[in-house]
Chains A and B, each alone.
Chain A
Amino acid sequence: MKRTIKPSIPERSEDPLIEVSLTVNGEAVTRKVSMRMLLSDFLRHELGLTGTHVGCEHGVCGCCTVHIDGKAGRSCLTLAAQANGADIRTIESVATSETVLHPIQQAFKECHALQCGFCTPGMVMNILSRFEEPGPLDLSDEGIRDMLSGNLCRCTGYINIIAAVRRAGELTGRT
């Protein structure tokens, strides 16, 4: 292809910037970002934590679920600026080690609870938040279905995810 003069392309938009400082997976982070940047984009593209997925950008599908100050939240409905000072936890922090999965992840694998894997990080973060809540955990069939009722999956038909939550209960000694 014939070489042409490179177009002049600005580095970034002229959006007003805001400094945000927050903790992500236990690490302190400070960045200057556009005031309208979503937390999901911040995590994925500013920090490179692309395990958090974006499936609908209107808070319905649950793919983008992360923990915000210990509670499951939609990173696609949260601005990075709103997360200033927050403690954020993403899927990248969940596994027990480089070689050992978290019991919820392990249960997903054993039960074939994922196919394409796009919804999976959001599912895991949502289930994890429920497992980490103080108090009793309802692992009845209805309780598990209710637990999953904020996450869409288009591949599995959910039954294996329900089985995986039950299995995670066994693996973590919760009943």
Chain B
Amino acid sequence: MVEPLGTLSELRAELDDGGATSRGLVERALERAGEVGERLGVFRHLRGEAALAEADAADARRAAGETRGPLDGIPVVVKDNFSQQGEPTGCASKILEGYVSPYDAGAVEGLGRAGAIIVGRTNMDEFAMGSSNENSAYGPVRNPWDGERVPGGSSGGSAVAVAAGIVPVAFGSDTGGSIRQPASHCGVVGMKPTYGRVSRYGLVAFASSLDAHSAADAAVALAAVAGHDPRDSTSLPEPVPDYAAGLDGDVSGLTIGLPREYFVEEGVDPDVLARVREGVEVLQAAGAKVREVTLPHTEYAIAAYYLIATAEASSNLARFDGVRYGHRAEGATQLRELYERSRSEGFGAEVKRRILLGTYVLSSGYYDAYYKKALQVRTLLRRDFEAAFRECDVLATPTTPAPAFKLGENTRDPLRMYMADVYTVAAPIAGIPGISVPCGFAHGLPVGLQLLGPPLGEGTLLRAADAYQRETQHHEARPPEGGA
């Protein structure tokens, strides 16, 4: 069994001092993907020869003194909803079986410019709809800390790829918590940038995010994919700061807000709350000020989020109709029948559930009561955060109400599954960035400390998370060899 790969900083140092080659790292990543990755259901597709050829090119650049930067020659993975030219882009859905993307996503172009080597595409909840990775049409991903438990979702494969030492950095997408929640469950750093900070061009429907072992590594990874992309109308034009240069370990001027509504005992594992409180104390001891703040509309966030997200999904997924790409039902004699049968055969149960709910709340007679109401509540939630960020620089909360649950535990109760997102859904509603940082264990399973910042506050979040990791070793814990 090949050894787990180290962190991005470690691998960079190995490349720079000649102790490793990019080809060697990519071979190790592919081998580990074939062993551990296979056992844990991490991948949808591996790029063998193509990745090795890119690694050789990176080695040649390094030999010529033309290394492109900290990610050059480093193996990484992307979630199965990132378009990459010539590669299958399946969103872990039967409806996209056989589809090969004719172009690169903006984030994939950014990785190419940085010289990162994409070695594979990770398993996920179908169309990123889920909180456990059990909604993949190709089987679940398993948690490397306990193979009977979920890794979280929807970017479960990406979090496990980092946690299990297959690659040092993984890219996924996070809307309701799809990176932060699995990062928390798997004991890695997971960052969701501000909506619009990273291009959504070529990403199937959702917003790009990433996993790494440390905030310092996440800062490097974010810089590679962040920036304006005119092909995404929601992309932000603001220049990208040098995130890595801002990591000075200094939190003395930082005020951390603890939202009262996120620290109620009800519905939260007490051990999780204890770990999060300890994490806040570490930052306080390092010089940060801590104060209580209030986000009074918190209890309405899940309801508003799922109404908005399902409405958007029902509209976004209309394009999958069996005409231009993807699955087409056989033998349809009329166009409408082709649509209905292709979609019904191609989509899984959770995707159908969300399309139906979204269609319902947008339909005549229900629009005002559900969809418009949810958008109004979104305004109230956004104002809550605006008011809180006038009193503090970052908010600290648990990432999830409990550690990873067991496979099958929530699959029969969709609403209970949605509740797993209770602490992560507010960020997309308010359009703000968030990061989950390992802060210890509860019942032998990793726990995440979530930090939320104001729009474009990625630099502050990374600085606070990095300062925390300078004082703690939780991010150095690794799952049992090869994963359970």
Tell whether A and B belong to one assembly: no
Interface set of A (CB-CB < 8 Å, partner B): none
Interface set of B (CB-CB < 8 Å, partner A): none
